[in-house]
Amino acid sequence: MSSISWYTLLFAAIIFIGGSAIGVSIYAAISAYLNLKPKIGCRVDTDPLFEDLSGVADLRSQIEISDGHKTYSYSNLQIAQVQVKNQSKQDFDQFELGITLSSKDVVIHLEVQSPGRHHLVKQIDPFTFTEPKPKADLILQPFNRDDAYTLRLLSITAEPNQRLGEINFSSPVAVRFVDLPRIQETIKDTAKSATISLGPFSFSFD
């Protein structure tokens, strides 16, 4: 009788310990899921501003941009098309997004394609043709689940005929930045055109 009781107690103890371990694992898994940071998808497509049909970058010396009042001349102009999408289940009334270019690359103009007229993008620290910046600090307002913003950054590189370096994303909000699938058709179609439309600006070759 004592032998049966010993085995019974041992079996019960094993079940209790095993059940507790499974319970702890399930609790940890649920807690980790609930504590996941919201996921923000990002994609960057960059190409030389002008490219011929064979894919070879056009090495013309200067590109001129006119805003209707003044003409600016560049030999190292690039376009970066950035898409950001809220892939989480969280809605943000406003979302602060930081876009940082590589060393010595700067942005001079921003064009925005938002989900609708009630979606706005504001520059925290504005940049201009006369005052370029190595970063773009923006507020997306709002940034609800499944919202996607497309941002076209008109940028210049440190050296002529040099591609833009890596572009990084940041935010004071606790989020995870993940990659969106890359597509380059839109930029390449733009690059093959001799006439470029970017907001109110016109482009011409020197």
Indicate if the pLDDT at residue 89 is higher than 80: yes
Name the nearest CA neighbour of 101 among 49, 166, 156.
166
Are 75 and 61 a contacting pair, CB within 8 Å?
A: yes
**What DSSP letter does each residue of 62-98 carry, written as one string?**
-EEEE-SS-EEEESSEEEEEEEEEE-SS--BSSEEEE
Give me the architecture of the 39-205 domain, per CATH: Sandwich (2.60)
Q: Is 54 left (phi over 0), alpha (psi -120 to 50) or beta?
A: alpha
At 205, is the pLDDT very low, low, confident or very high (cuts 50, 70, 90)? very low
- Measure Cα distances from 37 to 86, 173, 176 in Å: 12, 9, 6
Tokens at residue 22, please? 């499974």
CB within 8 Å of 60: residues ≥ 6 apart: 50, 205, 206
What is the pLDDT at residue 52?
A: 45
Of the listed ranges 29-38, 144-153, 192-201, the one predicted with least confidence: 192-201
d(CA 169, CA 107): 15
At 122, is the pLDDT very low, low, confident or very high (cuts 50, 70, 90)? very high
Are 94 and 144 a contacting pair, CB within 8 Å?
A: no
What is the pLDDT at residue 199?
A: 58
Are 89 and 174 a contacting pair, CB within 8 Å?
A: no
Q: Does the predicted TM-score (pTM) go above 0.85?
A: no
CA 206 to chain centre: 33
Omega before residue 132 within 30° of 0, cis: no
Indicate if the pLDDT at residue 60 is higher than 80: no
What does the domain layout of the chain look like in residue ranges?
A: 1-35, 39-205
d(CA 136, CA 143): 17
Tokens at residue 166, please? 């890596």
